[in-house]
Structure 1
Amino acid sequence: MHAFQYDKIQKIGRHLSFRDYLRQNPEICKKYGELISKLADQYPTDIDGYGDGKDEFVRKIEEEALKWHWTIH
C-alpha cells in the first residue's frame, strides 16, 4: 500500500503505470516478485538495503511502463 500527498499526481501516475504494466506482463511480474522475496529474506530489518536492492529493477521497469502507458492512452 502507498500513501501520497494530494499534490503528487505525477508520482501517483508512475506507480499506477508500474502496477498496470506488471498486470499486463506476467513474466516481468514474476521476476519482480522473486526479486522482492529474495530481498525481504536478505534484508529482513534493513528497509534501505531492501529498497536499494530493487531500485535498478524498478527504475528500468518504470521506464518501460511509462512508455507502454502512453502508447495505449
Structure 2
Amino acid sequence: MADDQYWYNTLTQEVEKGRQSPSPYRLGPFATAAEAADAPAVVKRRSEAWAAEDEADDNWGSASSPAQ
C-alpha cells in the first residue's frame, strides 16, 4: 500500500512514489503525485489556520471582559 502512495520530500522538494526518503523529510502520504506536489501549500495553509486559532485563544475574553 505504501508503495502506491506519493510523498513530498522536503529536502529535495520533489514528489516521490513510495517511501524512498527517511520519514523526517517526507510529507504525506497522498493519493496522487499532484496532491503531493501541493504539500508545501497545504502545510502553509494549515500553519496559518493554526496560528489564527492560537491568536484567538490567546485573546479569548479580552474584548468582552467586564469593566471593574
User: Which protein has the larger Cα radius of gyration, Structure 1 or Structure 2?
Assistant: 2
TM-score in terms of structure 2 length: 0.34
Q: Name the structure where strand makes up a greater proportion of residues.
A: 2
TM-score in terms of structure 1 length: 0.32
User: Could you say which structure has the greater relative contact order, defined with CA pairs below 8 angstroms and 6 or more residues apart?
Assistant: 1
Q: Name the structure where helix makes up a greater proportion of residues.
A: 1
